[in-house]
């Protein structure tokens, strides 16, 4: 089986060989999961537990994840799954549960954060903590980010405990607090309890980028890398005075000149392996001439005209370079007062592998004004990535193809941050993936209003997620 799969990754889409291998995989996969499991029972249970989970208000701040940790504990206890809550400060808790394998393979971690961002009930059609089902969707804060995935992880643990085969590796469920604000939960776990999971080979969490269009799965993007925020503040100082008598090198003037230089500056184009794969994989979805340009992206990027056109598209630009967005601006509070300081904040996002010191040195040269102070104003976490040529990536691709033969499966680098970054530092291969397929409109609910997930996603996702974990843990 493995030799076939290795071959599969070496074959370009569209070849006859690929089709043959996929149908082989389909038969094998169906035999693996069709067996004795009574799926409707578990799928009903998944919908009910999803509603219960969404009704627990873990808006962060304040979080109060101890309540969701207790919710999970009750269920794990019921199914005899070893588990422990870690309340690292009052009301803030992580939970870890484990199903033991025979140890022939290293563990896999199913990681989800239990906190959610706040919601303004007045802006929602349905109470954000009601978990009401309307038109086939369950509404609730966290329905997509990411209580849905926590629920799929929970169902996988239950299914493995009740129905699963002998596992080759430990399957570890981790629910964390505070991802949406400061990541205290995961940082605490890694600082204090890493012995419980440090030897893991794989980790699955949020971050996948899947697209549902006209009721079919168009695209499955497994997140293998994320960019890292490197927030900067620029402060200019100068002589203060009355607005009626201009000062040529005032703080605001200096700042604006510096900002103009930054806006004119183009960060260099860099093509990471995961991004190269992404462009090659999505090439067949493009119209010419982009189809052939994407297919040979390395070559194409040597053409300045193409680079200009491609990076003019927001969805592609961030994949290819460090980016700089000017966001906050601060100067005088009064029109007729020239202030002695003026400042702006830049939301800089660095590619995996980048050195912030080097970036800062370059930016200092670009600004070319030694009187302007540049400060880093967030906690920088080095961006990283995971390899693509793994058994887990192959398993996700194979199982997804079984359930959604029409889907294109590729890698995706996120512009945002996920907890994968923290766990990769332990040497764990971490991906953002879940079998949850949403439309562009549904995605607006993430950190927005009317966040919801279809009942179909919960029902079918329960099975697909289990299939992947069971396959990788045989």
Binding positions for Zn ion, rule: CB under 5 A: 145-146, 206
Q: Are 465 and 155 in contact (CB under 8 A)?
A: yes
Q: Which residue's Cβ has the minimum distance to Zn ion?
A: 145
Q: Are 207 and 421 in contact (CB under 8 A)?
A: no
Of 145 and 442, which CB lies nearer to Zn ion in the complex structure?
145
**Residue recorded with tokens 């929970």:** 154
* Distance between CA atoms of residues 317 and 321, nearest Å: 7
Closest CA to 237 of 225, 220, 249, 223: 249
Of 138 and 297, which CB lies nearer to Zn ion in the complex structure?
138
Of 205 and 343, which CB lies nearer to Zn ion in the complex structure?
205
* Distance between CA atoms of residues 429 and 388, nearest Å: 9
Of 146 and 413, which CB lies nearer to Zn ion in the complex structure?
146
Please list, residue by residue across 243-265, b when 16 or more beta carbons sit within 10 angstroms of its beta carbon and e when fewer do: eeeebeebbbbbbbbbbeebeee
DSSP states of 30-79: HHHHHSS--HHHHHHHHHHHHHHHHHS--BTTT--THHHHHHHHHHHHHT
* Distance between CA atoms of residues 271 and 436, nearest Å: 28
Quote the least distance from Cβ 305 to Zn ion, whole Å. 38
**Neighbour count for residue 47 (Cβ, 10 Å):** 16
Residues with Cβ within 8 Å of 334's Cβ and at least 6 positions away in sequence, in order, are none
Secondary element (H or E) of residue 89:
strand 82-89
Quote the least distance from Cβ 207 to Zn ion, whole Å. 8
Strands (E) across 100-163 are located at 108-113, 133-134, 137-139
Q: Are 91 and 177 in contact (CB under 8 A)?
A: no
Of 95 and 146, which CB lies nearer to Zn ion in the complex structure?
146
Q: Are 431 and 393 in contact (CB under 8 A)?
A: yes
Quote the least distance from Cβ 146 to Zn ion, whole Å. 4
Quote the least distance from Cβ 115 to Zn ion, whole Å. 9
Of 146 and 160, which CB lies nearer to Zn ion in the complex structure?
146
Quote the least distance from Cβ 2 to Zn ion, whole Å. 33
Of 170 and 206, which CB lies nearer to Zn ion in the complex structure?
206
Quote the least distance from Cβ 149 to Zn ion, whole Å. 9
Quote the least distance from Cβ 179 to Zn ion, whole Å. 6
Of 207 and 331, which CB lies nearer to Zn ion in the complex structure?
207
Quote the least distance from Cβ 113 to Zn ion, whole Å. 6
Three-state DSSP class for 280? helix
């Amino acid at each position: 089986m493995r030799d076939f799969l290795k071959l599969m990754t070496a074959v370009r889409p569209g070849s006859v060989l690929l089709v043959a291998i996929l149908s082989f995989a389909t038969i094998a996969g169906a035999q693996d999961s069709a067996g004795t499991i009574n799926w409707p029972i578990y799928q009903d249970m998944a919908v009910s537990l999803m509603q219960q989970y969404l009704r627990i208000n873990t808006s962060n701040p304040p979080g109060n994840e101890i309540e969701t940790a207790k919710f999970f504990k009750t269920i794990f206890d019921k199914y005899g799954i070893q588990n422990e809550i870690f309340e690292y400060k009052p009301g803030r808790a992580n939970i870890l549960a484990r199903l033991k394998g025979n140890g022939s393979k290293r563990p896999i971690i199913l990681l989800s954060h239990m906190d959610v961002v706040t919601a303004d009930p007045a802006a929602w059609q349905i109470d954000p903590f009601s978990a009401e089902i309307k038109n086939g969707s369950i509404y609730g804060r966290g329905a997509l980010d990411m209580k849905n995935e926590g629920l799929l992880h929970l169902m996988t643990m239950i299914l493995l405990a009740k129905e699963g085969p002998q596992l080759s590796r430990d399957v570890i469920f981790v629910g964390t607090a505070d991802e949406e604000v400061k990541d205290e939960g995961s940082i605490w776990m890694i600082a204090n309890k890493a012995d419980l999971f440090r030897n893991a080979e794989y980790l699955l969490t949020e971050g996948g980028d899947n697209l549902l269009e006209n009721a079919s799965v168009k695209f499955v993007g497994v997140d293998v890398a994320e960019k890292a925020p490197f927030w900067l503040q620029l402060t200019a100082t100068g002589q203060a005075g009355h607005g009626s008598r201009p000062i040529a090198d005032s703080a605001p003037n200096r700042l604006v000149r510096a900002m103009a230089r930054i806006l004119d500056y183009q960060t260099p184009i860099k093509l990471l392996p995961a991004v190269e794969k992404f462009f090659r994989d999505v090439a067949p979805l493009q119209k010419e001439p982009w189809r052939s340009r994407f297919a040979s992206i390395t070559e194409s990027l040597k053409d300045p005209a193409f680079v200009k056109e491609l990076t003019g598209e927001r969805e592609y630009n961030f994949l290819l370079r460090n980016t700089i967005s000017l966001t906050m601006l601060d100067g005088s509070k009064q029109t007729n007062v020239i202030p002695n300081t003026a400042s702006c904040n830049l939301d800089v996002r660095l590619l995996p592998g980048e050195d912030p010191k080097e970036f800062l040195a370059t930016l200092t040269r670009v600004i070319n004004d030694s009187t302007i102070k540049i400060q880093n104003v967030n906690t920088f976490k080095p961006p990283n990535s995971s390899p693509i040529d793994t058994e887990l990536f192959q398993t996700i691709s194979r199982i997804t193809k079984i359930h959604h033969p029409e889907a294109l499966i590729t890698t995706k680098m996120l512009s945002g941050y996920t907890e994968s970054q923290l766990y990769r530092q332990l040497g764990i291969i971490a991906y953002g993936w879940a079998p949850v397929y949403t439309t562009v409109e549904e995605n607006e609910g993430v950190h927005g209003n009317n966040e919801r997930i279809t009942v179909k996603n919960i029902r079918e996702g329960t099975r697909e997620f289990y299939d992947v974990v069971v396959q990788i843990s045989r």
